[in-house]
Amino acid sequence: MKIISIAQYSCEEAPDGKVVTIFKTQDGWFWLKPLVDTEGFSTPFGSVNEIAVSQNLSNLKLLIEKDVSIEV
């Protein structure tokens, strides 16, 4: 699997100073959060909006996105 983009978002649910980090691959968007594994949310997500809806994240705002090429 190859990561092609890393994005960080702010949202109302994140503690002060914390962000939501999302990785994009050729297969879709991955959110590295323990809830995804422990509660069985489907990954990869088809879009960042799917992540926001499934996790009840409101006012998700892009802070930074960087194109990368990382083989994992």
pLDDT, position 22:
87
> How many CB atoms lie under 10 A from the CB of residue 63?
11
pLDDT, position 54:
81
pLDDT in tens, 17-59: 788 888 898 888 887 665 555 555 556 788 888 888 888 888 8
Please, are residues 60 and 48 in contact by the beta-carbon 8 Å criterion?
Answer: yes
Note the pTM of the prediction, 2 decimals. Answer: 0.71
Residue 30 structural domain: 2-71
Tally of domains within the chain: 1
Structure tokens at 21: 């980090």
